[in-house]
C-alpha cells in the first residue's frame, strides 16, 4: 500500500508554451496510466462556483418524488438518457444490483454531422430549468478537457497528437449524475449489496468531478483497496476498457468500487458526477500495432466501439 499513489498533474502545464512542462506532463500521465490507471488533474476548466451549482441541482433532482423521477425513465433507451431507478444496474459478473440511482445526459450535435441521427434526444427536467443548463455546460467543459487529455495520451503513445480528435468529436459520451441513496435497513439487504461493486469503466477515459463523500477505492496490483479522494476542485481521471483494449493493455483500466459508508453514516446520501468519454460508435478498437510485441502479444479480438458498448450494456443489465 505504501508504494501506491495517484499523481496530481496540472493541465495548464500541458497547455503551456513551455516544452519542458509539456514533456513532464506527458511522461507523468503516461507513467500513471501504465501503472495505476488513475491521475488527479488540477486547473481543468471548471471553477468551484459551477461545481457547487452542479451539485446543488443534482441534489434537488434526486430530492424530487419517486413518481416525478420515474416520468423521466424512458423505456428503450437502456439508461443512456434521463433517469435510471434503483436496482437497475449491476457490475459485470455481479449478482446484486448497485445501491444507486442516476441521471444521464448525452451528446448534443450542433453541426451537420450525420451521427446526430444515431443519438436519442436529451431529456429536459421541467421542474428544474437550471439543472438542464448546468448539466449541459459541465458536459461541454469536460468534453473539452477530455480532448486535451487524449491528445496528451496520443503523444505519449507516439501517435499523431490529433489521433483521437475525429473519433471523439460528437462522440457518444455520457455525463452521469449519481445518487447513492441512504441505506435505511442494511440488515434487509443481500450481503453483497454495495453502492457500486468492483468494476472497470467501459469508455476511453473517465473524468470524475469529486464527490460529496468518501467511498471510492482503487484495487492495487497487490490486491489491496486504496481510497481515492480528490483535492479541492481537482478531477480524478482514469483509463477505461476501450483505451485499454486499443492499447493492448499498455494503458491500464483499473478495477474500482464505491463502498458502503460506516454504520453511523448509512443514513446519508453520496453524490458524484463522472463524465464517460466515448468515441463515435464506428471507431475501430483493434489493438494498435505499436502496442503489440513478442513480450505483449495481441490480447483482444477486433471490435468497434459501438459493438463493445452494446456488449457491456447487456452485461451490466441496462440492455436486454
Q: Which domain holds residue 27?
A: 8-315
| 93 falls within a domain | yes
Please report the pLDDT score of residue 211 as a whole number. 80
The residues, any chain, with a CB within 8 Å of residue 223's CB and separated by 6 or more, are none
Where residue 94 falls (left for φ over 0; alpha for ψ -120 to 50; beta otherwise) is beta
Query: Cα angle vertex 215, ends 8, 61, to 5°?
Result: 100
Confidence grade of residue 317 (pLDDT, cut at 50, 70, 90):
confident
Place of cell 457491456: 312
For residues 316 and 91, the answer to whether their CB atoms sit within 8 Å is yes
Q: What three-state secondary structure class fits 147? A: helix
Confidence grade of residue 232 (pLDDT, cut at 50, 70, 90):
confident
| 117 falls within a domain | yes
Assess whether pLDDT exceeds 60 at residue 2: no
CATH number at residue 186: 2.60.120.330
| 71 falls within a domain | yes
Assess whether pLDDT exceeds 80 at residue 248: yes
Instruction: Report the share of the chain in percent with pLDDT over 70.
Output: 99
CA 101 to chain centre: 16
Confidence grade of residue 149 (pLDDT, cut at 50, 70, 90):
very high
Q: What is the mean pLDDT of residues 217-227?
A: 93
Assess whether pLDDT exceeds 60 at residue 12: yes
| 263 falls within a domain | yes
Q: What is the mean pLDDT of residues 92-115?
A: 95
The more confidently predicted of residues 2 and 277 is: 277
* CA atoms of 317 and 90, how far apart (whole Å): 6
Assess whether pLDDT exceeds 90 at residue 254: yes
Domain count, the chain: 1
Please report the pLDDT score of residue 230 as a whole number. 74
| 3 falls within a domain | no
Assess whether pLDDT exceeds 50 at residue 1: no
| 320 falls within a domain | no
Residue 158 backbone phi and psi in degrees, to 5? 65, 35
For residues 73 and 85, the answer to whether their CB atoms sit within 8 Å is yes
| 1 falls within a domain | no
For residues 42 and 234, the answer to whether their CB atoms sit within 8 Å is yes
pTM comes to 0.96
Please report the pLDDT score of residue 212 as a whole number. 81
- How does pLDDT run across 109-132, given as a tens digit for each residue? 999 999 999 999 999 999 999 999
Amino acid at each position: 500500500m505504501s508504494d501506491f499513489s495517484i499523481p496530481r498533474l496540472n493541465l495548464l502545464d500541458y497547455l503551456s508554451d513551455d516544452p519542458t512542462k509539456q514533456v513532464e506532463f506527458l511522461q507523468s500521465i503516461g507513467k500513471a496510466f501504465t501503472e495505476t490507471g488513475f491521475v488527479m488533474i488540477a486547473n481543468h476548466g471548471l471553477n468551484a462556483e459551477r461545481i457547487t451549482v452542479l451539485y446543488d441541482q443534482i441534489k434537488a433532482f434526486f430530492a424530487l418524488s419517486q413518481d416525478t423521477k420515474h416520468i423521466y425513465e424512458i423505456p428503450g433507451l437502456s439508461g443512456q438518457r434521463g433517469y435510471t431507478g434503483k436496482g437497475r444496474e449491476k457490475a459485470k459478473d455481479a449478482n446484486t444490483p448497485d445501491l444507486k440511482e442516476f441521471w444521464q445526459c448525452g451528446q448534443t450535435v450542433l453541426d451537420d454531422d450525420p451521427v446526430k441521427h444515431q443519438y436519442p434526444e436529451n431529456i429536459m427536467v421541467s421542474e428544474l430549468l437550471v439543472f438542464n443548463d448546468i448539466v449541459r455546460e459541465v458536459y461541454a467543459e469536460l468534453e473539452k478537457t477530455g480532448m486535451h487529455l487524449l491528445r496528451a495520451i496520443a503523444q505519449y503513445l507516439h501517435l499523431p497528437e490529433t489521433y483521437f480528435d475525429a473519433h471523439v468529436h460528437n462522440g457518444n459520451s455520457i455525463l452521469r449524475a449519481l445518487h447513492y441513496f441512504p441505506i435505511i435497513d442494511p440488515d434487509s439487504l443481500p450481503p453483497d449489496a454495495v453502492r457500486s461493486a468492483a468494476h472497470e469503466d467501459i469508455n476511453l477515459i473517465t473524468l470524475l468531478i469529486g464527490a460529496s463523500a468518501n467511498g471510492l477505492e482503487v484495487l492495487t496490483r497487490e490486491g489491496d483497496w486504496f481510497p481515492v479522494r480528490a483535492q479541492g476542485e481537482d478531477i480524478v481521471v482514469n483509463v477505461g476498457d476501450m483505451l485499454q483494449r486499443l492499447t493492448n493493455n499498455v494503458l491500464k483500466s483499473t478495477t474500482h468500487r464505491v463502498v458502503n459508508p460506516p454504520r453511523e453514516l448509512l443514513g446519508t446520501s453520496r453524490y458524484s458526477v463522472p463524465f464517460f468519454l466515448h468515441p463515435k460508435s464506428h471507431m475501430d478498437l483493434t489493438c494498435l500495432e505499436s502496442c503489440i510485441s513478442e513480450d505483449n502479444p495481441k490480447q483482444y479480438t477486433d471490435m468497434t466501439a459501438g459493438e463493445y458498448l452494446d456488449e457491456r450494456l447487456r452485461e451490466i443489465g441496462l440492455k436486454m
